[in-house]
Amino acid sequence: MAQTSTRSRSHTATRGKTAGSTTPDAIALLKADHREVEEMFEQFEKSRSEDKKAQLAQKICQALKVHTQIEEEIFYPAFLEATGNKDIHHEAEIEHDGAKKLIAEIEASGPTDEYFDARVKVLSEMIKHHVKEEEQRDGMFAEARDSDMDLDALGEQMQARKDELGAEVADGAADEDAEIKFNG
């Protein structure tokens, strides 16, 4: 892993991106995802419309699938390599596995399923716990900032992968719409 100077790391920690860069560093990118999903969970909890809940649940699940994928493919391996902290790494992976199972159940159901709201609520609680552990003072993100991880380069790599995954999701949705129109 490339060395990042202490000045660059602390500068990045304050602003979330370096001067001249429009891509947030890895941690700023992940935290922005966390805030986005938290907002969607809040909207879901406030909603009384089954259609709105279905749309929000779908958006939440998609956002979490992309987020977990970029963490697992890029951030977590870099974290493990830089810190050697298997405990934090392994716990995060296990938490992801639990969330993925619940996401699959949510995606296979809908608002008419009597357990739909409960599944989304439990997923929200799982994600809040996971986010707290990553973002706490002695959590994964703090340890990553204190390591020699190149958070700016990781941020660029993660944003590129996120964009790629987002395009795949959009293509998949377009394919589904076309299939529905063709078959409908």
Q: Are 30 and 71 in contact (CB under 8 A)?
A: yes
Distance CA 83, CA 65 (A): 25
DSSP strands (E only) in the chain: none
> What was the pLDDT predicted at 176?
52
Quote the pLDDT of residue 69. Answer: 97
Q: Which residues of the chain have pLDDT under 70?
A: 1-21, 170-184
pTM to 2 decimal places? 0.81
| Fold entry, domain 22-183 | Four Helix Bundle (Hemerythrin (Met), subunit A) (1.20.120)
pLDDT of residue 172: 63
Can you give the pLDDT at residue 170?
65
29 is written with which tokens? 């990118």
